Amino acid sequence: MKEMYPKNGRVILHVDMNSFYASVEMASNPSLKGKPLAIAGNPEERRGIIVTCSYEARKFGVRTTMPLWEAKKLCPQLIVMTPNFDRYRAASAEMFEILRQFSSLVEPVSIDEGYIDITGSQELGSPMAIAEDIQKTILEQLDLPCSIGIAPNKFLAKTASDMKKPLGITILRKRDIPHILWPLEVGEMHGVGNKTAEKLKGIGIDTIGTLAKSNEIQLKALLGINGLRLRERANGIDRRPVDPESVFDFKSIGNSTTLPKDIANQQELIRVLERLSEQVAARMKRKQVLAEVIGITIRYKNRKTITRSHKLENPIGRKEEILAEARQLFIKNWDGNPVRLLGITGTGLVEAESAVKQLDLFSYEKDAEKEPLMNTMSMLQEKYGNNIIGHASSRLRQSQGASGRNDTSFNKDFLQQRNQEKPKKE
């Protein structure tokens, strides 16, 4: 098995969900399968555009970013649905949870694609076997198709995943670059947009091969440091690691543990969940975040794995709250067979200080008990300012904020941008 992994290099997969929004709708409503389906913004308006569409719709010429009126002209029987981003986020969270079962080095780059470094996962099989297992698991558990690229770096893995869709798996090695990539037009290269392609063609660079052999000084003068970076990519050079803490990560916090022996005793398994809840709560506290979704992972003795999650009415972060949700999910979904691994994950994270709690009949009584303290704090803040009272961890973060990155800033969290999702090439 070691012979299938490089001695000094990496093995990276790029997992790209196929027609993600449309596929999620088909998984939710199987009667849509096999039909031309499009997800579109403002479907009632003439100016609405196609966000994504099924492969059945593409056979008629329907494409992403196409005006809806044009798509209907090409395919009169086209089924048009408005985006359901809550549904897509939930499916995305489950998909990434599956990826984390194969490696801890998982980097989401958007709601429907991510990188996974499997260099340290040799015990699970060859890179091709792992890719096939991932594809099969996502399809069986979520009913969602994906394509996977296997390569020694992120650029080549991303390029490879685009080569066979849907449900393709492609290996792209550095030695394949001259005969597979270099003959392609430069505009087909990942990372080269239309405007950049026009600039490159203006100086005689019309293929990926000519870019790979181009003059560095000329490239830097034309495109700056990005020109040199593109030249490296064209030669198959990409040193970027798979970074689970990337700013594009949608900020999930989770812990899992492989049990020292397979356990079928419910009380013992609940105690494991209690320890995991404590660990997740501690990490949330350090990050000063709360979770809107709690999920669990159960892997059985036969390696069958299930993930289940629950969207909460109010975000939570305390150990007792996390355990209560995880325990309920576990009891509901455990089939009684011996368990090999357990995990708890909090997703849909929000900053603790900005979380708004919607009181209901069940939580009102507990919150009412704290009302005198809240009133006193409110009076002090009104008299002396909002910063007069706060958590010690908040004070520490404020003192460090001027010189360090704010880990709880979610301005770049793609899963929180409900109304700003952009159509993408699938």
Task: Walk along the chain (426 residues) and give the pLDDT tens digit of each residue.
Answer: 556 787 788 999 999 999 999 999 999 999 999 999 999 876 555 457 898 999 999 999 999 889 999 999 999 999 999 988 889 989 999 999 999 999 999 998 888 999 999 999 988 999 999 999 999 999 999 999 999 999 999 999 999 999 999 999 999 999 999 999 999 999 999 989 888 999 999 999 999 999 999 999 999 999 999 899 999 999 999 999 998 876 444 467 888 888 989 999 999 999 999 999 999 999 888 877 888 899 999 999 887 888 899 888 888 999 999 999 999 999 999 999 999 999 999 988 877 655 544 434 344 344 444 445 544 554 554 455 544 544 444 444 444 333 333 322 222 333 433 333 444 445
Residue 397 lies in a domain: yes
Residue 161 lies in a domain: yes
* Prior bond of 6 cis (ω within 30°): no
Residues labelled catalytic = 113
Residue 423 lies in a domain: no
Residue 416 lies in a domain: no
For residues 167 and 66, membership in a common domain is answered with: yes
Pairing of strands 79-81, 37-40: parallel
For residues 289 and 220, membership in a common domain is answered with: no
pLDDT of residue 43: 57
Q: How many domains does the chain have?
A: 3
pLDDT of residue 411: 29
For residues 79 and 201, membership in a common domain is answered with: no
For residues 291 and 212, membership in a common domain is answered with: no
Q: What share of the chain is helix, strand, coil (3-state, %, to 5)?
A: 45, 20, 35
Query: How far from each other are the two terminal CA atoms of the chain, in whole angstroms?
Result: 33
For residues 23 and 167, membership in a common domain is answered with: yes
For residues 61 and 131, membership in a common domain is answered with: yes
Query: Rounded to an integer, what is the distance from CA 240 to the centroid of its chain?
Result: 18
pLDDT of residue 245: 73
For residues 68 and 187, membership in a common domain is answered with: no
For residues 132 and 262, membership in a common domain is answered with: no
Q: Cα–Cα distance between 299 and 315 in angstroms, integer?
A: 26
- By the 8 A CB rule, do 192 and 245 touch? no
For residues 102 and 191, membership in a common domain is answered with: no
Amino acid identity for residue 22 in this structure: A
Q: Cα-flanking dihedrals φ and ψ of residue 181, to 5°?
A: -90, -45
Binding-site residues sit at 16, 112
Residue 113 to residues 106, 189, 281, 371, Cα–Cα distance (Å): 10, 18, 27, 45
Residue 316 lies in a domain: yes
CATH of the domain at 204: 1.10.150.20
pLDDT of residue 357: 43
pTM exceeds cut of 0.75: no
Domain boundary among 174, 196, 215: 174
Residue 99 lies in a domain: yes
CATH of the domain at 113: 3.30.70.270
Residue 65 lies in a domain: yes
For residues 139 and 227, membership in a common domain is answered with: no
pLDDT of residue 379: 53
Residue 396 lies in a domain: yes
Binding-site residues for Mg(2+) sit at 16, 112
Is the sign of the CA dihedral 158, 162, 167, 168 positive or negative? negative
Residue range(s) defining the domain that contains residue 196: 182-234
